[in-house]
């Protein structure tokens, strides 16, 4: 066993240029996730996958390729072996947009090598990781080492906009007993990661014309038969967000795990929409008329939770917080906010691989982390 590992290390050392060159080749093919920026010349995930599939075939992998979205394929490669010791090496090949191009010193798709680094979009996150998976397989093959277990390399699309490439793979393709994701961690072995759900909170008010707002600020002496005050959902949402900030802080204080950063359990309000009337898509129907007292606000939250938290407990805790918040207001008590979990099907379960698991131990040892 030791000699096999030494042989593989020797191959890796001997072929360091290989992983650098492959990373550069991958960076040079722009594969910006089209959900962020739809522009044909930049959305070349399929071309990256063609390159990777070729590499996999050259290394003797049996490959598979299928579209997750139109012309956005996943690619996998597999070496046969026992299921008991099966392992997946996984990476994504989409990248986020360049942003302000003039702020770059170098061509974001140039793959330039300078100061001992490869520069460009995706060099770190995570074409470098994908290249490392392929280089590892090549080193094993060149060292002439036969693996007992089945080894798979998964190259997926659409990580940056929800992870739907990997989710499709999990639902439709054979998996393995263990998996290593080659995301950048600055070389650290990270066996634990928090979970995530996107959550929509809808807050309801009572619609009225802004011309009647004065009667909610300055109660009028003769209100009988006059229009009752509206209830502004945007103002309720403002109060809700303030309370949420305190709730988030208490969750971040109370929950900790030794292997993830303190304060990980954040609840980020990422999107807010306010207006009048409930639209068919679950958002306010009218968002262009400031003369209507708003009766619908939707707030979309990025809700993170800890590696060892159970999702059902997480849901129950937040639902209790919202119910208590609503109970403090006579209007909201009768018209409670609505909570929708896993908005757009976005739900990442946490992972919490024990540190005494054989894979974790082996990785710690190789990385010099113990
Ligand atoms: Zn990534």
**Domains parsed from the chain with CATH numbers:** 2-191+353-366 (3.40.630.10), 193-348 (3.30.70.360)
C-alpha R_g of the chain:
26
Q: How confident is the model at residue 221 (pLDDT cuts 50, 70, 90)?
A: confident
Q: How far apart are CA 342 and CA 314, in angstroms?
A: 13
Pinpoint the alpha helices (H) of 63-163.
Answer: 128-142
70 Cα to the center of ligand 1, angstroms: 21
Whether the Cβ atoms of residue 360 and residue 191 lie closer than 8 Å to each other: yes
Question: Among residues 11, 45, 64, 94, which one is catalytic?
Answer: 94
217 Cα to the center of ligand 1, angstroms: 50
126 Cα to the center of ligand 1, angstroms: 5
* Predicted TM-score of the model (pTM): 0.82
pLDDT the model gives residue 219: 75
The tens digit of pLDDT for each residue in 152-211 reads 999 999 999 989 999 999 999 999 999 999 999 988 899 999 999 999 999 999 999 999
The tens digit of pLDDT for each residue in 96-118 reads 999 999 999 999 999 999 999 99
Q: How far apart are CA 158 and CA 73, in angstroms?
A: 10
Q: How far apart are CA 179 and CA 132, in angstroms?
A: 15
Question: Among residues 78, 158, 159, 248, which one is catalytic?
Answer: 159
355 Cα to the center of ligand 1, angstroms: 23
132 Cα to the center of ligand 1, angstroms: 14
183 Cα to the center of ligand 1, angstroms: 5
Residue 168 among the catalytic residues: no
Residue 94 among the catalytic residues: yes
């Amino acid at each position: 066993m030791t000699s096999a590992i030494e042989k593989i290390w020797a191959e890796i050392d001997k072929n360091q240029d290989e992983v650098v060159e492959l990373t550069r080749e991958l960076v040079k093919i722009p594969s910006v996730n089209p959900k962020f920026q739809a522009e044909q010349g930049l959305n070349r995930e399929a071309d990256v996958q063609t390159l990777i599939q070729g590499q996999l075939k050259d290394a003797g992998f049996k490959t598979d390729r299928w579209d997750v979205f139109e012309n956005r394929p996943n690619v996998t490669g597999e070496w046969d072996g026992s299921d008991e010791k099966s392992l997946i090496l996984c990476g994504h090949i989409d990248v986020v947009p360049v942003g302000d191009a003039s702020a770059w010193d170098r061509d974001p798709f140039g793959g330039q090598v300078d100061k001992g680094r490869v520069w460009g979009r995706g060099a770190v996150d995570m074409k470098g990781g994908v290249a490392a998976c392929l280089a590892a397989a090549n080193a094993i093959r060149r060292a002439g080492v036969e693996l007992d277990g089945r080894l798979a390399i998964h190259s997926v699309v659409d990580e940056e906009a929800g992870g739907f490439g990997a989710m499709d793979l999990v639902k439709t393709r054979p998996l393995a007993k263990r998996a290593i994701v080659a995301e950048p961690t600055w070389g650290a072995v990270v066996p634990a990661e928090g979970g995530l759900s996107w959550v929509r909170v809808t807050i309801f008010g009572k619609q009225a014309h802004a011309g009647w707002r004065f009667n909610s600020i300055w109660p009028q002496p003769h209100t009988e038969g006059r229009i009752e005050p509206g209830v502004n959902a945007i103002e309720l949402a403002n109060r809700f967000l303030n309370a949420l900030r305190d709730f988030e802080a208490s969750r971040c204080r109370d929950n900790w795990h030794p292997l993830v950063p303190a304060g990980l359990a954040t609840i980020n309000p990422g999107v807010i929409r306010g207006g009048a009337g409930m639209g068919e898509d679950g958002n306010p129907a009218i968002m262009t008329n400031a003369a209507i007292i708003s009766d619908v606000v939707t707030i979309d939250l990025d809700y993170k939770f800890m590696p060892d938290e159970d999702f059902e407990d997480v849901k129950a805790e937040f639902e209790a917080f919202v119910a208590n918040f609503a109970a403090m207001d006579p209007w909201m008590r009768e018209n409670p906010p609505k909570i929708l979990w896993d908005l757009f099907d976005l739900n990442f379960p946490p992972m919490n691989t024990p540190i005494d698991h054989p894979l974790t131990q082996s990785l710690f040892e190789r990385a010099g982390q113990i």
